[in-house]
Amino acid sequence: ENHLSFEPKVIHASMAHNESQRNIDQLANIESFKRTSEGLDMLTQSHQRLVNSLSQRSTRAIQNQLVKSSGQENAFVEASTAQQSINNFSKGFSKSSTNFH
């Protein structure tokens, strides 16, 4: 009979222990989640800075490339114009030399 009277107390103590263990686990999970969340925030900010930096670099690189290719294009247009002038002159010259003969 004595054994039976202790049993509810033991069960209650065991349940209380389990409950407190669950609370401890939950708190640990919350702390872990907070740390993970903070870590993710830092990672996100770092990623954003990296993206911005790369974006600025690539924009500058593209602008530089455009300036270069614009210069090349101008040079190409000038060369084409010069070539056209030479061709026109040659045509004119061959016509006039044909007429001369």
Domain boundaries, the chain: 51-92
Secondary structure percentages of the chain, helix, strand, coil, to 5: 100, 0, 0
C-alpha dihedral over 85, 88, 92, 95, to 10 degrees? Answer: 150
Residues 7-20 pLDDT 10s: 777 778 888 888 99
User: What Cα–Cα distance (Å) separates residue 65 from each residue in 51, 57, 61?
Assistant: 20, 12, 6
Nearest-angstrom CA–CA distance, 32 and 20: 18
Query: Which pLDDT belongs to residue 84?
Result: 83
pTM score over 0.85: no
Query: Which pLDDT belongs to residue 55?
Result: 85
Decide if pLDDT at 22 tops 80. yes
Decide if pLDDT at 49 tops 70. yes
Rounded average pLDDT over 45-71: 84
